[in-house]
Chains A and B, each alone.
Chain A
Amino acid sequence: MSDQGYQTEGTGLGVLAWIGVSIVSFAVFLAMFSPWIIPYDPTQATENVSMPPPPLSAWPSLFWQTIVDGAPVPHWFGTDASGLDVFSRTIEATRTDLIIALSANIVSIIIGVSLGVISGYYKNLWTETLLRTSDLLQSFPVFITAMILVALAGRSWVNIVLAMSLLYAPIYLRLTRSEVLALRERGFIESARSLGKTEFAIARQHIFPNAIGSSLIQFSVTIGFAILLTAGLSFVGAGVRPPTPEWGSMIATGATQLVLGDWWPSLFPGIAISVTVFGFAICGHVLEKRYGR
């Protein structure tokens, strides 16, 4: 009776969910099909250097000419100082950033959740050490730590993924552990125990499935962070090596041209980052509102 009249489905959530899901699916679509979408090789310079994008008003007619008359594809977002097509690179970068962010999160959720279940279940020297280590990892500024780790291990995407996994795993570990601690006190765990179920079966059938929910919600939010971090690392030169198209490094190379008035090489990847991170953040928010506690 007391929780009567408390609505979980707000009216505003529907629109917000739509926006978030659209953004995320569009990003995933671009990442999957970028080779068929992009008009130019993203790592091959053209002879047009620092060419500004055509004015927006000219886009429809340019588009028409390209499709119908077979005119050469214009540089929609212009070209950078080396003559690389910004449009093709921005889209191809979706692939780079999403793959890195996604793999880092998958690795960290697997490590974090499994260690979280173990540390929630057993309280001994090992799990205590584990928890203090994760505290230690979380106490450093994420960005600096990631930078140092990548600098030490070498600038390959595998190393970036590993460094980020190490930083994000504690988030999932903490989250899962607190869920497990709460679940252990629940009546249905006691029921299962008195029914004669083994501890392993209880952990696998009851604890794990009920504990994973909040981590899956966190997953969506953390992907957004991971994209920001990937871009940030490249921006300071500790990320993927150029000329691999990547939003952060694109902004960095474009930034030097900014003083000359060439706004386009950094603006478009900048928008791409903001929109993508925003999309994932909304999805996380919506998931939390709908399924979170």
Chain B
Amino acid sequence: MADSQNTVLSAHGLSVEYADDSPTLADINIDLKAGEIVGLTGGSGSGKSTLAYALLALTRHSARITGGRVEFGNRDLLALSDIELEQIRGRDIALIVQNPRSALHPMYQVGQQISRVYQTHGGSRGAMAQQRAIEMLRLVGINDPERRADAFVHELSGGMAQRVLIALALSTNPKILIADEPTSGLDVTVQAQFLDTMWETSRKTGTAMMLVTQEPGILANYCDRVIELDAGRVIKDVSASEFVYGSILQSTDSPVSDQNACQVGEPLVMVEGLRKTFPLRGTKKVVQAVDDVSLSLFKGESVGLVGESGSGKSTVGRCLLKLLESDAGKITFDGQDLTDATGESLRQLRRRIQIVQQDPYDSFDPRWTIEQSLRDPIEIHNIVPIADAKTAIEDSLNRVSVELSTLARRPKDVSAGVLQRIAIARALLTKPDFLVLDEPTSMLAPQGRHIILDVLKQLRTDLDLSYLLISHDLTSVASACDRVVVMYLGQVVEVGPTSDIFSKPAHPYTKALIGAHLEESPQTRRVDKSDRLDLEGEIPSPIDLPVGCYLATRCLQAKGACHTERQELEKLNSHHDVRCMRASEIELDEAS
């Protein structure tokens, strides 16, 4: 490995300073070899992105490169003039940024944008360049690239825009590709598709890649080497198989514990035939967000509601609290009809059902201190005498293991992970029977995610709390749920006990979701598997839904009737339902 022949880019003593006291990079020494995929990781604020930019001799506003060299070939990038750099950037070193939609020009067709970059860096012109663009789009796995090349950014989904960006970056055959958190904001199945493409492209073209990410799953599955930063210093530079993933998180993925499915008597929450549509402005069309959803939840039970963005899972959660009015269907809570409740009775019911939202910073009044926000539920419902409020607040914080010193702070001064735990504490202050958690972990770094799930598991044992955990990542929530409900395009496609869902998933979509999860272990790399259970393309628009099975357009198993007949949720056994007419057939196919 020590042959310097292969090294395409190396940094020596690279230092970056910020005008304020933001993270400073000090004395960074790293190198990048041809055809290698390097993961650059570290906690937020560790200087990952700053380093990725500095390798291109770029800095963010107020930052300054104060020393060191970045050697590319025999040249020091930091010593070059802007004009010389312009020739190297884009041609030899390409960058993929976080938000693909804002990185593409809104007024040019994407094919044209790719061919322009190609032309600028000495590629051929005109029809040849356009051909090149289409070729690149095909290479990154875009269906029908001839047509997509004429699309504008707003006509593409996030995943597709991200792929256009990688096509653009690769069009000049760069030697190095730097990607700054390229999959943040993408759904799990799309993320897996995208990373597969990147990995394959790197192997095909020999491009060296640097992936900036916090996700241990991505590091373990796609990287050859991992560099970890902490407070602006390299603390680890090891091969991916040697990297200890526990250093960025404590892996707590214990197998699903007790299956004491206490499904006795009446369910605590019962949803029957829930429907919700949103009218589309300016048209007569509607968005079908929730399409005939039924589910039940027993006391002390925890249910995971899983699906990609646009599957309607959050809408279900908000209908349960009557934060949204449902169009049809019935929701009962502890025997009381929630759909008809208004005024005082609704207020009383709401005390018993609480919600934890996705974005912790958005769920607290920015002007209030944490203490004020936590005092609020106590005062609204007179849970305890005012004199005891302080104790109650402190108890609730202890329960989610948050330090009491945060009480005096305002939300913006608290980290996302801690604030999300405080949001849980606030929800618990009304002593609810049922908690809806709407993607409580999706805005958090991996560490914070695990802590939240641990807290939830603890609460379940301590308080016998029932909750509905809404998430887009099946595997990560599995450990905190007894049962899992999988949703796709507003429909429930599979319901079953967590162990069943994982050991024998019946619906192709569930299989894809499980397959798309990136295990945090380099031994079972996704890229090494021959058959990746996959879906094609992306979730269709909920405005013009397919006639037959909603998944048919993406499903590799779809056959004739799947495209024409509406699917019904059918019993596989006493507690496992699936909405796929071919479920048993597929199982037989796979078995043979």
Interface residues of A (CB under 8 A from B): 1-2, 4-7, 186-188, 190-198, 205-206, 209-210
By a CB distance below 8 angstroms, the chain B residues around A191 are: 355, 357, 363-364, 423, 426
B22 touches A5 (CB 8 A): yes
Given contacts A4-B22, A194-B355, A196-B381, A187 and B363 within 8 Å (CB-CB): yes
By a CB distance below 8 angstroms, the chain B residues around A196 are: 347-348, 350-351, 377, 380-381, 430
Closest to B50 in A: A4
Rounded to whole Å, the gap between the CB of A199 and the closest CB of chain B is: 11
**Interface of B, helix, strand, loop or mixed by DSSP:** loop
Closest to A4 in B: B22
CB-defined A-B contacts under 8 Å, sample of 22: A6-B62, A7-B61, A7-B62, A187-B358, A187-B359, A187-B362, A190-B318, A190-B355, A190-B357, A191-B355, A194-B350, A194-B353, A194-B354, A195-B377, A195-B380, A195-B430, A196-B348, A196-B350, A196-B430, A205-B365, A206-B365, A210-B365
Partner among B61, B367, B377, B430 whose Cβ is within 8 Å of the Cβ of A6: B61
The interface on chain B, measured as residues whose beta carbon lies within 8 A of the other chain's beta carbons, has a size of 39
Question: Is B20 at the interface (CB under 8 A from chain A)?
Answer: yes
Given contacts A187-B359, A194-B323, A196-B430, A7 and B376 within 8 Å (CB-CB): no
B367 touches A209 (CB 8 A): yes
By a CB distance below 8 angstroms, the chain A residues around B362 are: 186-188
Closest to B362 in A: A187
Closest to B381 in A: A196
Q: Which 10 A-B pairs have the closest CB atoms?
A: A187-B362, A5-B60, A187-B363, A196-B347, A196-B350, A187-B357, A5-B61, A5-B62, A188-B365, A195-B377
Closest to A6 in B: B61
By a CB distance below 8 angstroms, the chain B residues around A210 are: 365-367
Rounded to whole Å, the gap between the CB of B80 and the closest CB of chain A is: 23
Extra contacts, 13 of them, besides A5-B61, A191-B357 (Cβ < 8 A), are: A5-B18, A187-B362, A188-B365, A190-B363, A192-B365, A195-B376, A196-B348, A196-B377, A196-B381, A197-B376, A197-B380, A209-B367, A210-B365
By a CB distance below 8 angstroms, the chain B residues around A192 are: 365, 376
Rounded to whole Å, the gap between the CB of B373 and the closest CB of chain A is: 8
- Bound CA span A197–B346, Å: 11
Closest to B436 in A: A194
Interface residues of B in 231-257 (CB under 8 A from A): none
- Bound CA span A4–B22, Å: 8
- Bound CA span A82–B426, Å: 72
Question: Is B2 at the interface (CB under 8 A from chain A)?
Answer: no
Rounded to whole Å, the gap between the CB of A147 and the closest CB of chain B is: 41
By a CB distance below 8 angstroms, the chain A residues around B426 are: 191, 195
Fill in one digit per residue for B27-63: 1 if any A CB lies within 8 Å of its CB, else 0: 0000000000000000011000100000000001111
By a CB distance below 8 angstroms, the chain A residues around B381 are: 196
A4 touches B359 (CB 8 A): no
Fill in one digit per residue for B367-408: 1 if any A CB lies within 8 Å of its CB, else 0: 100000000110011000000000000000000000000000
